């Protein structure tokens, strides 16, 4: 300082009384006399502790940020007005670029063009925000990312920090969830909800003069039998096979969906002529019913197809589906395995059936059903030997209805099961009351094919007998001849189980089916009932008389009781007595009577 005669400055780091660091800046300015000798010095001491602490804080912050950038699993990028000035390693791993390939380039170069506007808006406004976007990898691949932007001071400069979060797994999971929500898990086809959206979109965009849209409602006939007999794995395989066959025979613009269970929907746009739809439906009929090898056997299922056209058969998706469904039921009613277009007349009948279905369900809840009982007499001495239970429906608007007015609808809509269960329970209760009063009459109850073929039917019947505390011998079950013709071994086993419960078995409407004598001999049948269609024509019609005579002789030879129903005249009664028909039933004897009237009628005999 003396030699140079210049000011000297230096910094000193000390520790204050509290042990805290303290920085002092010392400026020394020498003072010389006239002879040039050092006469003194001016010394200025400045406390710069705050300044040095601030510098340390910035330095430590920079170090922490650097460590954070390197330790973070998420991508971090710094840019100045859109120009990249720094990135961390995860950015490189995510995009496939090296650090040198990114630094100095514009951020816009690394975003998909369709996502640039949102990023440019954030850059222009300087807003701190978060949004989902798509980055571009080095190979041009689209990478779903979430961008989070913040403003930050770094090295005394205001920069933009962008956190780049890899959301590929999240997007894939969301896509999977969306797919599951809109597709059937078994077949991979669009489900009911997704199909409805597509149908709504197509109908909404339709303009006058455009080609029609065809909707095909496909239902697999008797699919439940395959599930019940061969198991759900075979049923699932069949559904998957049907799916492949349908999709393989449609155009790229056509849409197929699984509507639920064994139901499929096909949407065909651009229909200019019905014949096009007929050809497609005919092709689907053929390919669906082709045999399939499963569980070591060849199985096949036929489809019933109903078709509705937009806008001819409906102007809303709901109407189109409803009308295609009605047409499909028409196809089933006409023998199954065929195609039917929607017909308003048939739709009206279908609507009436829906109304009856709803009313039947309500009748079960409100107790609107009642059993009447028609006496059965022994022809030799006129003794009352049994009654047949016949259901009546007290309709709120139409009054008392006979079975022919509602049973067909009940069978078609699967209401026959709960109605049949009610009839059995009510007949058991009546039988218990009569036996308590000394009137020991077996009650004959008609079974529907749906009841008889239901899995677990015998077990449920046994449980019903236990609940109502009724002896099985108090009941007789009537089955139609056709019900005995499906599977001899299975029918024989079921009848044996029913006989084990003490019940008698009767064949109703005998002579109208096609069962063979050998078939009947194999089954544990107690009684055959001659159908009223033969009885009403005897004795004047020679053919009818011959059939009745043959049935009586057949029953005798097989050791079965023979009863004739529909006996209405004295001539018919005398003819049947002379033939040796053992039991008689019909208006000639008595009409169906209420429980109270039947007891009164029996007491007067």
Which domains are present in the chain?
8-47 (2.10.70), 58-170 (3.30.450.20), 184-342 (3.30.70.270), 355-603 (3.20.20.450)
Report the predicted TM-score, pTM, of the whole model to 2 decimal places: 0.51
Most confident stretch, 48-52, 365-369, 374-378:
374-378
Q: Choose among 145, 148, 146: nearest CA to 129.
A: 148
Cβ atoms of 235 and 227 closer than 8 Å: yes
How does pLDDT run across 179-223, given as a tens digit for each residue?
888 888 899 999 998 999 999 998 888 877 778 999 999 999 888
Task: Decide if 284 contacts 249 (C-beta within 8 A).
Answer: yes
Pairing state of beta strands 561-564 and 527-530? parallel
SS3 127: coil
Least confident window among 168-172, 388-392, 412-416: 412-416
Task: Centre a 10 Å sphere on the Cβ of residue 599 and count the other Cβ atoms it contains.
Answer: 17
Q: How far is CA 602 from the centre of its chain?
A: 53
121 vs 517 pLDDT, higher one: 121
Backbone φ and ψ of 447, nearest 5°:
-100, 140
Region 267-274 average pLDDT: 90
Q: Residue 541's pLDDT band (boundaries 50, 70, 90)?
A: very high
Bigger pLDDT: 237 or 347?
237
Closest CA to 524 of 583, 470, 484: 484
What does the angle CA 102 – CA 116 – CA 87 come to, to the nearest 5 degrees? 25
pLDDT band at 351 (very low <50, low <70, confident <90, very high): low
Q: Which pair of structure tokens corresponds to residue 96?
A: 């496939």
CA distance 419 to 400: 16
Q: What percent of the chain has pLDDT over 90?
A: 51
Q: Give residue 9's pLDDT.
A: 86
φ and ψ of 567, to 5 deg: -75, 115
pLDDT surpasses 90 at 12: no
What pLDDT is stored for residue 561 in this prediction?
94
- Nearest by Cα to 509 from 485, 482, 487, 542: 482
Contact between 465 and 472 (Cβ < 8 Å): yes
3-state secondary structure 341-366: ECCHHHHHHHHHHHHHHHHHHHHHHH
> Half-sphere exposure (CA, 13 Å, Cβ side) for 21?
12
Please report the pLDDT score of residue 279 as a whole number: 92
Calculate mean pLDDT across residues 135-139: 94
Sheet holding 303-310, edge to edge: 255-260, 263-271, 212-220, 303-310, 339-341
pLDDT given for residue 205 in this prediction:
85
Tell the residue number behind the tokens 């998706």, with chain if given.
317
Q: Taking 60 as the threshold, does the pLDDT of residue 515 lie above it? A: no
CA–CA separation, 351 and 329 (whole Å): 12
Helix (H) or strand (E) holding 123: helix 116-125
Confirm if 480 and 513 have CB atoms less than 8 A apart. yes
Q: Could you tell me if 207 and 257 are in contact, meaning their C-beta atoms sit under 8 angstroms apart?
A: no
Q: What is the mean pLDDT of the chain?
A: 88
The average pLDDT across 94-110 equals 93
Q: Which of 85-89, 265-269, 411-415 has the lowest mean pLDDT?
A: 411-415
Q: What is the pLDDT of residue 66?
A: 64
User: Max CA-CA distance within the chain?
Assistant: 172
């Amino acid at each position: 300082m003396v030699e140079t005669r210049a000011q000297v400055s230096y910094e000193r780091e000390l520790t204050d009384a509290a042990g805290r660091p303290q920085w002092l800046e010392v400026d020394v300015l020498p003072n010389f006399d006239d002879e040039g000798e050092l006469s003194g010095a001016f010394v200025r001491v400045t406390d710069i502790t705050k300044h040095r602490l601030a510098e340390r804080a910035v330095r430590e912050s920079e170090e922490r940020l650097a460590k954070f950038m390197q330790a973070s699993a998420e991508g971090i990028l710094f840019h100045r007005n859109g120009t990249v000035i720094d990135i961390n390693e995860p950015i490189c791993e995510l995009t496939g670029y090296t650090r040198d390939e990114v630094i100095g380039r514009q951020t816009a170069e690394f975003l998909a063009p369709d996502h640039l506007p949102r990023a440019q808006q954030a850059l222009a406004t300087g807003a701190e925000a978060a949004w989902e976007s798509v980055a571009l990898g080095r190979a041009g691949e689209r990478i779903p990312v979430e961008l989070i932007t913040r403003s930050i001071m770094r090295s005394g400069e205001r920069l933009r920090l962008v956190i780049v979060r890899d959301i590929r797994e999240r997007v894939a999971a969301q896509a999977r969830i969306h797919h599951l929500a809109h597709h059937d898990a078994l077949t991979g086809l669009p489900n009911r909800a997704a199909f409805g959206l597509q149908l709504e979109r197509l109908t909404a965009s339709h303009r006058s003069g455009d080609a029609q849209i065809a909707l095909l409602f496909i239902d697999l006939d008797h699919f439940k039998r395959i599930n019940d007999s061969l198991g759900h794995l075979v049923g699932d395989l069949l559904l998957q096979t049907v799916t492949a066959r349908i999709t393989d025979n449609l155009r790229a613009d056509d849409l197929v969906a699984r509507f639920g269970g064994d139901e499929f929907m096909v949407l065909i746009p651009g229909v200019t002529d019905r014949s096009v739809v007929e050809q497609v439906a005919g092709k689907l009929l053929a390919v669906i019913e082709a045999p399939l090898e499963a569980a070591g056997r060849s199985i096949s299922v036929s489809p019933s197809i109903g078709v509705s056209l937009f806008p001819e058969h409906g102007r809303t998706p709901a109407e189109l589906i409803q009308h295609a469904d009605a047409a499909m039921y028409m196809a089933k009613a006409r023998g199954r395995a065929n195609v039917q277009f929607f017909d308003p007349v048939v739709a009206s009948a279908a609507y009436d059936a829906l109304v009856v279905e709803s009313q039947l369900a309500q009748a079960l809840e409100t107790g609107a059903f009642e059993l009447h009982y028609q006496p059965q007499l022994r022809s030799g001495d006129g003794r009352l030997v049994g009654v047949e239970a016949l259901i009546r429906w007290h309709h709120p608007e139409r009054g008392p209805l006979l079975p022919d007015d509602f049973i067909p609808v009940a069978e078609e809509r699967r209401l026959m099961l709960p109605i049949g269960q009610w009839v059995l329970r009510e007949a058991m209760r009546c039988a218990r009351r009569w036996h308590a009063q000394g009137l020991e009459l077996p009650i004959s109850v008609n079974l529907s094919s749906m009841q008889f073929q239901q899995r677990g039917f015998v077990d449920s019947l046994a449980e019903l007998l236990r609940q109502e505390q009724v002896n099985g011998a108090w009941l007789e079950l009537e089955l139609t001849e056709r019900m005995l013709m499906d599977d001899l071994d299975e029918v024989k086993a079921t009848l044996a189980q029913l006989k084990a419960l003490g019940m008698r078995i009767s064949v109703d409407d005998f002579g109208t089916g096609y069962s063979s004598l050998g078939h009947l001999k194999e089954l544990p049948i107690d009684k055959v009932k001659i159908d009223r269609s033969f009885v009403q024509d005897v004795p004047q019609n020679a053919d009818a008389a011959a059939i009745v005579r043959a049935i009586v002789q057949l029953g005798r030879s097989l050791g079965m009781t023979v009863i004739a129903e529909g006996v209405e005249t004295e001539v018919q009664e005398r003819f049947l007595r002379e033939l040796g028909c053992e039991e008689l039933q019909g208006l000639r004897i008595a009409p169906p009577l209420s429980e109270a009237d039947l007891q009164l009628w029996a007491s007067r005999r």
